[in-house]
Each structure stands twice: as structure tokens, then as C-alpha cells.
Structure 1
Amino acid sequence: MVLKKMFINGEWTDSYSGKTYQVLNPATNEKVADVAYGSTEETREAIKAASTAFNPWASLTAKERSVYLTNLYELMIKEKESLAESITLEMGKPIKEARGEVELAAEYLLWNAEEAKRVYGESLPASHASKRLQVIKQPIGPVGAIVPWNFPISMLTRKIGPALAAGCTIVIKPASKTPGSAVRFFELIEQINLPKGVANLVIGSANSIGDELLSNPAIKKITFTGSTSIGKKLISKSSEHVKKVSMELGGHAPFIVFEDADLEEAADGAIISKFRNSGQTCICLNRLFVQTSVKEKFESILVDKVKSLVVGNGMDENTEMGPLVDDAALEKVESHIKDAVQKGAALLTGGKVCEQKGLFYEPTILSNVNSDMDITYDETFGPVAPIYAFETEEEVILAANDTEYGLAAYFYTKDLGRSIRVSEQLEYGIIGVNDAVPTTVQAPFGGWKQSGLGREGGHQGVEEYLETKFLSIKY
């Protein structure tokens, strides 16, 4: 089995210590790959490479940078199957979902290839006849990016796409669970002949690599997707050099079903939102609020649909839900369900580990859940949908907003007035109205409150990698 290496200054690199580690397939517990395990020195070398490459890269025209991103997009589409397989083997996602992730990831490159040519400045009216006032945008500098395991390719391109489009260079640390997906992506980067040092990949110790990215003054911006607890630490450590940060952090999405909703459509949406990627997504349904008058009927529809889900190895084309990523994830699901049932929740379906080999848990529906249960405030990150009853619109808005998170929220209704009222009152960065899959490359992605800072996607995404400079020219 070939050793997966780091990519620093255009070269494939072993860890300087020679240390490696194993990546296991959560569906089979079999070894996927041996991977180089880097630390501070490799990160420092990658930062040096990114710093050296920055000025030449930033000096290219937007069109020239755009060509590299477009070529990378085309190569990703060509290599979709190999990229998808790397995702599924490392973290268990069904292969059909993995293909969809690769397609979306490639679209982020294509979108930002075009956005590179849309970084506009301004000409301002001057207060004096002999002055000319201008505002220009310039790349912030070398970027440190930390990528999660649950969407290991799309989260990578959501960072590298706008960074390179803006004229920044980048050092990327993938999640330790999914390094092979990043390695496969960097093999494509090598094929498009991206200038050395523009994009670098460092794999290994999260603490050592993260600390170097945060403490090294050459890194001007940190971009991170992951838990709120880790994000807070990164923000705090970034303050030493006042680095710019963008953070897409935890979520605890409410999914509201009003009595006037199409219940079949709402149930389908709930399944897509909750059980996609085995519930291991930051924007997935975590609290399912159903109006009392339709609760019993909706539960019946939902349970029937959930019972038909095919759970299995993600490499099987028929699989609709794969394994959890590791033992800790499985334990958290079990803990939340046990706590809820002990406190009075009703188990409608699921509720136990699957009999097959691997880290599989049955898709689970809990009813009669209340605010005394851990699952109400703690993000589960697993295939469990807790159902809460509500009576009024005002009541459910208060309950939906009763969390420190504010990433995504969903609700189903046929009432146009309600769609406007509820959308405006929910304290979330992303709202899906009768839509369980709102994410798209042309729209901003990010959260309110403790769900993050900044946005990825849309024209807002490139702005996160730019500095604004005001010019006052007197003649």
C-alpha cells in the first residue's frame, strides 16, 4: 500500500521524523492507508513556501489565476469517481452522496474562477479639486486552512477556491480521519502545474500544525470549519497577531413542520436533512418541531419512511446511510438516546447499534422530547431525530432560537405570510423554507451567534480573503 505524503512547495514529502499513522474504514475497520504524520517543522516549511510564492501569485492577473482554477475544476469532474471513492473509504459516506460532494466541490472552484475577475474597487468623489480618491482590494496574504472530515473535499475547495482567486497562497491541514481525500485532490493540483508553494498540504498533529499556523506571523488569515469549542480556541490564539479569521462552526438546526405543511414533502425533507451523511453534517436537522394538530400523522409518515432506509457499506450503490465516523461518535449517539429515553422520550424506531460489522447505528426517531434532555442543547452529530410538539408560531420561534448556535434552520408551510414572518425571526444564517437542501455555490454559507464568523460561497466568499485599501492622491 502506497504511503500518503504531504505536499510542500510542489514536492511530495514524508514526515521529517519518519512517523506515519493508519487510516481505517469505519464500515469495515480495515486499513485504508498509511499516512505521513507531520508536525511543527513541516508546517513551518509549508508556510515558508507559501510566503515565498505569495507575491508572484498575487501579481498574476485575475484571468491567469482563473485559468488554473478552471483547469482544476475540469480535472475534478474527470476524476470524480476516484475522489468519491477516497471519501467513502475514509469516512463511510454512501458513494452516491460522495459523488454529489465532489460535484459541488468542483463547482466552488468554477464559481471562484469567475469571481477572481469580479474583485472590484471604487472611485469616490473627492472633497478637493486636486485630489482623487480610490478604494482597491488586495489579497490578505498566506492563509492557514483547517478542513473537517465530514465533507473533506467540498470544505477544502470552499477555502482553496476563493483564496487562490483572491491572490492568496494557502497551507491546508486536512482532518486526520480523511487525509487521503486531500492527497488525491493535491495530486490533481500537481497535474495542473500550479506554481510551487501556492498550495501546500500538511498532515499530522492537529495541535502542532494548528499552533504553528496560529503563531507564525507570516500567516495572515485562518479559515476553519469544525466545532465551536475548537473555533473559540483558534479565535483566541489568532488574537496575538490579530489574524483575520473566518469560522464555520457548530450547528443545532431546528426543523419546523407547521400544520398547513405538505406532510409528505416535509417528511422527505426531514429524512434528507437528518440522515444524509448519517446525520454528521453541521446544517442537519437536530430538533424536529411539529405542530400538535398534525404531530401523530406526521410521525406515522416519517417512521414508515425511516424504516425503509438502507443502511450499509457506503461502497454499495444501494446504501442510503453509512456508518458513523468513529467510536466516539457512536458513543455520543447512544448517550443522547439513553438520556432522552430515561427522561421520558418515546422511541418510535431505531435506537440500537446495527448487528453488521462496522460503526453502524440504526436511524432513530424519538418522540415527546423536552428541554430537560441533553439532545435539546447538545449537537448529536448522528442519525437521531428528536420530535418536539408545539402549539403556536410564537412558541416555536422562541424554542428554535433557544440555542447558542445559529447556522441553519428549516420550516415547512404553505402560508406565504408565515414564510416571511418566520424567516425574519429565526436567528440563523441559512434558512430553508420548504427546502431541506439550501446550500449552493452562488449563495453565502455561514452562521450567526456561536456558529461562526464570515461567509463561504457567493461573492461574499472572496471578500474574506481580501484587504481594503483607501488611496488619497493629491496632485
Structure 2
Amino acid sequence: MLIAGSRRPGLDRISIIDPSTEQVIGSVAKASAADLDEALAAAEAGFRFWKREATAKRAEVLIRAASLLRERIDEIATDLTREQGRVLAQSRLEIALCAETFEWFAGEALRNYGRILPARIAGARQMVVPEPIGPVVALTPWNFPALLAARKIAPAIAAGCSVILKPAEETPACAFALGQALLDAGLPKEVLSIVFGDPGQISSHLIDSAVIRKITFTGSVPVGKLLAAQAGRHAKPCTLELGGHAPVIVAEDADVAAAAAISAIGKTRNAGQVCTSPTRFYVQQRIRDEFVERFAANLNGITVGDGLDPSSDMGALANERRLLAMQDIVNDARSRGAEVVTGGNRIGNRGYFFQPTLLTSVAGDALAMQTEPFGPIAIVSTFDDLDEGIALANQSPVGLAGYAFTRSAGTAVRLQEELEVGMVGINSFAVSHTEAPFGGVKDSGYGYEGGLEGFAGYVHHKYVNHVGG
């Protein structure tokens, strides 16, 4: 743990497993109630002076920390790959994006303007003054352990909040690397604490505390709803990014070869363990066979192996749970009449490696259609006209990201307007950029990360009506 600038070993430890070898490569401390109380006390004290710190100073700390992350990128990215399994190039990109995130929110801190309203009476001043919302609890998962933490830490610190970060126990090294970079950059030690342990115990203890003023969580829909209910009992605001089951509409006028190639890369990024990962492919009937053939060929061309091997295109799944889940999804689909066009099996017997998999003729009640696979599994179904394709895409209760491949400007505009998602990619799976809002609709949660909308989640706006001298 990292509490008030001090590393704490803890009384109990949690093992860290390398998903490529299944070997124990380390351990991380498990927080006690006393540890959490100490983190809360630090957050309360840190907020009292950090909220008064000059905005330029907050920005300076973030910019300096970004520079340190870039200097340390090789070490941090290697640790990320060893803990999480993805290929090293993707780990390096994630750390680079963390640095970019720190820098962007440093700039946003300097743009945190209030405003003067036209006075109703002579001699009065009517003002809107932005203020930091208060100490924040940030809960992050293992799939992007550095970037998802940076998206929460950076705007909070930029706004003047203190933070208690609870990352995933499986991938602690990145969280410590972010924290150490910030401390080395001059962040006061009380402003950021990092704790690990039992997720239910930690979230309950921290959310119930009167110190905490905001909760931000990335994870599953069921857990997000539980946290929202708990926060609601205390009238505390939440930002919830709860994942998706992203649809992809491939219209008959699309560039089929390009769509298939891009889809194979998008589906296997981070072994499909991405909340915006394309999963439900709805392909117009006339081009269905060509798309399936090309998509399968591209998936077969993906080299799966140890993430530290530069020849690997896709690494291991992050943990044994995901490996078992992939096997369950494929077996369930098969039992309901689905065709496994390619993949569908574990690779070897050591490490959590799974073949990039393409399923067709998947029943609507199959597990693959009802839950987010969160792995390298793609499903192809067909539609006749665009009305049907849109209806199929929107039938899911979640709505984080949606995609389409088309060369028609009219089709693109219609899909932008009618897909029930928070983000839309046309001929691209890139919907996550530092300067843009990231968030969903329906069961995918509420609030935003990224962009000025993400910064706004850590600020409240005080109205001041000053009459007389």
C-alpha cells in the first residue's frame, strides 16, 4: 500500500500471477480497516491544503509526472505485461497515454474558468466560482490498470481533490508507478493514497465515510449498481463506466477487405479485454460470406504468445477466470447450434492463452449474446436492411460503444444518430481519446472520463451574489 507517502507492507498478502507462465511473480499488501482509516485521514488533510494550492502548481506537478512516466516507460510497461499479459507494444502505448492524460488535464486545470453574471442591481457582483468536489475514491480494474487509474487521478488532482485509489490486486505495479511519479514530481504525500485488498470491504468502508465526497468506478454492471446504491444512501455523486457489448454494423457498401482486417486487429487488442471491444458484428446479407471468410483469415493470422516476445500480436488473457469464461461461452454457443468458424480453444496447457475465435449462427439466448465476452470472441449475424441492423444493435441493455463500416455519408449520419451508445466509430474502432468524453448510456453507466466533461465531474460550481462593500 501507499498511504500518506509511505509504503506499507500490510499483515496479509495477495499473490500476483504472470498470466503467460502461471507463476507467482510477487505479492501485494491487503489493507486492514485501520489502514483505510489512515488513508481517509490523509485524504481529508490533503484536501484541505491541496484545494487552496495554486492551479499552476497543480498543473506543474502533473506535467512533471508525465515527463517521469516517459522516462520510466520501459520498466513500467514490462511490469504491466508481466502482470496483465498483453503484448509489450500495447503496454508501452498505455503508459504513453497516461503521460498524455496527465498533461491534458494539467492544461484543463488552467482552463477551469468561473464566470461573472450580469448583476440584477447596481453595485452587486454575481459570480459562479468552480471549486473541487472533495476527497475522491477511485476504483479501477485490471484490463487497463495504468490508463484507467490515470483518467481518474489526473482530473481529480488537477481540480484540487485528494484521491484514494483502489486498483485491482492482480496488476498493482502500474498504480505504484503512477503514484511514485506524482510524488517524485512534488505531489504532497497526503493527496494520493493507494490501497489493495477485499473489494467489497474497501468500497463499503470508504464510501460510508463522511470524508469521501465522490466515487468513480470502472467495472462490471452488477458491481457498479451496488456501488451506486451505496453511494446513493449518502447522496454522493458517482461516475460509472460499466462496460459494454459493442455492436458493429457492416453495411453492404463497406470496404469488406478493410473492415475485416481492421476488425481482427480491434477484436484481439488486449486479447479482447476492452470494454469498447467490437463483439456483435451485424453484416448485411449480400456481403456476409465474404466478410466471414476474410475476418476468419485475418484472425488466423494473429500470432498469440508471451507478451514479452516481440513476435506476438496478442498475449495471454489476464487471469484463469477469463480463460474459463471463454471456454464456457464457446461451449454454450456450440450447444445451441452455433458454428465455430475459427478458434474456440485454449492454446497449450501453460499460460492463459486462447485462440482468436469467430462464431456464427449464434442463438439470441446464448451466453455470448447475453453477456460481454471480454475476450477474443467475435460473433457474426446478418441483417437485410438498415432498420433491422439498427434494431439488432440496440437490443442490448448496455450502450457504451458502437461501430459501423460504410462508404455512404447518409448511412454514417443515420447510424451516428440512431445507435444507442455513448460513442460511435465509423470505419474505425478508435473512440477513446484524451480530449474527448468517454462514457455510455443505459446499463453502461453515467458520467464521463476524458475531455472537459471528465474534468467537470470533479468540480462543483458555487454561486456567489455579493451586494455592497
TM class by shorter chain equals: over 0.9
- Once residues 371 and 235 of structure 2 are traced to their aligned partners in structure 1, the CA distance between those partners, rounded to angstroms, is 31
2:107 aligned to which of 108, 114, 121: 114
What residue number does 2:193 align with? 200
In 2, the alpha carbon distance for the partners of 1:247 and 1:152 equals 16
How high is the TM-score relative to the length of structure 1?
A: 0.97
Q: Which amino acid aligns with 2:74?
A: E
2:9 to 11, 14, 22: 14
User: For 1:360-439, what aligned pairs fall within 5 Å after superposition?
Assistant: 360-439=353-432
Offset, 1:324: 1.3
Q: 1:261 aligns with which of 243, 254, 264?
A: 254
Counterpart residue number, 1:161: 154
Aligned to 2:302: 309
Compare 266-275 and 92-101 and name the one that shifted more: 266-275
Partner of 1:137: 130
For 1:13, the aligned partner's letter is R
Distance (whole Å) between structure 2 residues aligned to residue 80 and residue 95 of structure 1: 11
SS of the aligned residue for 1:469 comes to: strand
Do the aligned residues in 1 keep the contact of 2:135 with 2:214 (CA within 8 Å)? yes
Q: Does 1:209 align with 2:202?
A: yes
AA aligned to 2:47 is F
Report what 1:63 is aligned to.
56
Deviation by residue 1:155-208 (Cα, 9 ceiling, x = unmatched): 011000000000001000010111122122222223223112111111112122
Mapped to 2, the partners of 1:300 and 1:123 lie a distance apart of 61
- Using the TM superposition, name which of 123-132 and 339-348 deviates more: 123-132
1:3 is aligned to none
CA deviations over 1:361-400 (Å, ceiling 9, x no partner): 1111111223132211211111110100111100011110
Q: Partner of 2:424: helix, strand, or coil?
A: strand
| Correspondence list, 1:42-57, <5 A | 42-57=35-50
Task: Give the letter for the 2:50 counterpart.
Answer: W
In 1, the alpha carbon distance for the partners of 2:262 and 2:213 equals: 40
- How much has 1:356 moved relative to structure 2? 4.8
Structure 1: tracts of 5 or more residues without a match: 1-5
Q: For residue 97 of structure 2, what is the amino acid of its counterpart?
A: L
Identity of aligned residues (%): 37
Gaps of 5+ in 2: none
Q: Spell out the pairing of 1:210-359 with structure 2 (5 A cutoff).
A: 210-359=203-352
Query: Are the equivalent residues in 2 in contact too, given 1:92–1:324 (CA < 8 A)?
Result: yes
Runs (4+) of structure 1 exceeding 3 A deviation are none
Report the secondary structure of 1:239's partner residue.
helix
Return the offset for 1:130.
4.0
Contact 2:249 2:281 (8 Å CA) reproduced: yes
Distance 1:42 1:271 in 2: 45
Secondary structure, aligned partner of 1:129: coil
The count of corresponding residues between Structure 1 and Structure 2 is: 468
Contact 1:441 1:457 in 2 (8 A): yes
Amino acid at match of 1:109: F
Q: RMSD across aligned C-alpha pairs, in angstroms? A: 1.1
2: CA distance, partners of 1:384 / 1:282: 13
TM-score by length of 2: 0.98
> Is contact 2:400-2:441 (8 Å) kept?
yes
The equivalent residue for 2:92 is: 99
Whether the aligned pair in 2 keeps the contact of 1:368 and 1:389 (CA below 8 Å) is no
CA distance in structure 2 between the partners assigned to 1:178 and 1:355 by the alignment: 24
Query: Could you tell me whether the CA contact under 8 Å between 2:150 and 2:178 is conserved in 1?
Result: no
In structure 2, the residue matched to 1:35 is 28
Distance 2:451 2:262 in 1: 24
Cα shift at 1:268: 2.1
SS class of match (2:51): helix
Does 138-147 or 31-40 show the bigger shift? 31-40
